[in-house]
Structure 1
């Protein structure tokens, strides 16, 4: 190579360095994520024969594989106790309230809030007599992290990867307790856009056949806190709340109400009154329940005989009008309602229903002190 050729080559190389490479390096190309394939529609006949993941019951009709569910409540109402009981029933093939699991399925319970020792006590409190088989109930608590590691943030891609690494292929149910602890970025809770990355993650788990139960806080108005867009994607939404005439002396008593039940009908979608007790000796928790109609029957009769109309009774007791209607129909059949409401009557303001709850009369729970649920 002569001197002139060398000089020309060096000049060209210098100019290329100034402009930059026209093509990315091979290593850079390999590091870039592969674009997902574009979505494809199917012909009606093809779709009819397509084999999707089978949707199977996990806990009676309450929860199925691929279901996306939420339970929300105010602070101290007992939503973690409720979610742990659901998780144990699924993991052991057991029963919770009126629903029974046909088979034991694997559960991953992700707690993002409680100290490790408190979580241990909660797990021991709700552990059923038939314990889960090894690997069927796996749990995480923030105290398992070292002091320098932050809890994964579900609103970020990196946080989702960290959480996905804990989900095994045969996991049937993931419980996320609670949503606010696990999704901390992405904007304000009231902004619909803040829900977008989380909904995409949920849909990914549903395509894998995995059910998800989100534990969340109720807002000031009693509905789930944040954007209502959360509920668009969900199959089941439950609210736990104190009865309108709740007395703290009753302990841990609350109403479980379905505000959305996409696949539930009849008694499966009926509101329930729940009571949670803990034996002071064994420290084991026990649930008792009855339908909201049974729980409010005597109070509905008393208010109806005082001349209140159905919608006024519903407002007074804080229950659905349908529950009041069923109770009044039963009471009339039994001849317990003697006064018909006067359309022109003026109903004075009332502060409390006059009849006692008598909740524990129908319960088969042992006579132990009521649990004061920790906030």
Structure 2
């Protein structure tokens, strides 16, 4: 056999081997014809608008459901570690909107219908909390103003907001609402992996549809081990407001209950004093009512520095304890001396 014949035979053998090893196409669904994509595009009915026409549109101005951080046609999120009081926070905010009342100094200009989606609380605990809220607030909501969906009252459980089926099931309840509280993301948005941005897209599209319909959505979420909101940061992209609740610095996490620092991490449309942090505490009374107290975070830190100085700590030690700058602790010591609040001087620095 000639060298040419030998080479051809070798090439034929390699070609036959490659053909055998080539993956067989899977017997999955056939690729949709181009006409199917065209029909989908047509059903979306996209339309552009010139800048001149856009500027001439009579778009109603945004008003507030709870001023200054919860606007109409808005998207917001509050997140916190377990047990810090984020559900109390969301329930009080929702009830203030339903009643046209106030919460922590934030005002609801007029009552608005609220849908509260609860994903995990026992019905009896939810009932007790709302009874306490009604007992403790000045403005009472109309009986139908706040609607609840909670797992213990559902024969087949709560819908999954990250699926089309779950979103469709909720439509009769979301239609009349102006504020929708989703408490919480982990239990009500169950499909996909929490730390993957693509898993959030279905929920984000639903939230944007709600906003386009003039509704506001307040998501409640857990904080991760590092203190930031758990999972993908993509959740924050379309939000107007992001609120973080954290345990006060220098105090035992397990001892606080509903006592926390509030930080506005994203504040679209409000600034200055409105966006400053606060220290907040929820106190329960023997009669079953609840009372909120709060003060600006800067004042709270000042009081904590004074307490530590009176315990004998130096400004440097107080700064380390509270995770603040030494110059801040020193400045607060001088202020406390002027205010006559020091029982004894801290370490002589």
TM-score exceeds 0.5: yes
Mapping of 1:338-353 within 5 angstroms?
none
Residue aligned with 1:105, SS: coil
Give the unaligned 5+ runs of structure 1.
Answer: 1-28, 338-353, 355-375
Preserved CA contact (<8 Å) 1:66 1:211: yes
1:192 corresponds to: 197
2:50 is the alignment partner of 1:39: no
Preserved CA contact (<8 Å) 1:108 1:139: yes
From the superposition, tell whether residues 70 and 325 of structure 1 become closer, same or farther in structure 2 (CA, over 3 Å). farther
From the superposition, tell whether residues 43 and 239 of structure 1 become closer, same or farther in structure 2 (CA, over 3 Å). same
Match of 1:213 among 215, 218, 221: 218
2:186 is the alignment partner of 1:180: yes
Q: Distance in 2 between matches of 1:332 and 1:33?
A: 69
1:201 corresponds to: 206
From the superposition, tell whether residues 316 and 50 of structure 1 become closer, same or farther in structure 2 (CA, over 3 Å). farther
Preserved CA contact (<8 Å) 2:83 2:257: no
Q: Distance in 2 between matches of 1:307 and 1:195?
A: 45
1:140 corresponds to: 149
- Using the TM superposition, give the Cα deviation of residue 328 of structure 1 relative to its aligned residue in structure 2, in angstroms: 6.8
Deviation by residue 1:220-257 (Cα, 9 ceiling, x = unmatched): 11011000110111111111121122245555321111
Mapping of 1:77-116 within 5 angstroms?
77-116=84-123
From the superposition, tell whether residues 317 and 180 of structure 1 become closer, same or farther in structure 2 (CA, over 3 Å). same
Indicate the structure with greater helix content.
2
Give me the CA root mean square deviation: 2.9
Residue aligned with 1:91, SS: helix
Match of 1:275 among 274, 281, 295: 281
Preserved CA contact (<8 Å) 1:112 1:182: yes
2:301 is the alignment partner of 1:296: yes
1:51 corresponds to: 58
Q: Distance in 2 between matches of 1:327 and 1:119?
A: 42
Deviation by residue 1:117-158 (Cα, 9 ceiling, x = unmatched): 111111111123432113211111111111xx1321111101
From the superposition, tell whether residues 251 and 70 of structure 1 become closer, same or farther in structure 2 (CA, over 3 Å). closer
From the superposition, tell whether residues 327 and 135 of structure 1 become closer, same or farther in structure 2 (CA, over 3 Å). farther
Preserved CA contact (<8 Å) 2:83 2:258: no
Residue aligned with 1:195, SS: helix
Mapping of 1:145-184 within 5 angstroms?
145-146=154-155, 149-169=156-176, 171-184=177-190
TM-score of the two chains, using structure 1 as the length reference: 0.72
Q: Distance in 1 between matches of 2:328 and 2:174?
A: 44
TM-score of the two chains, using structure 2 as the length reference: 0.77
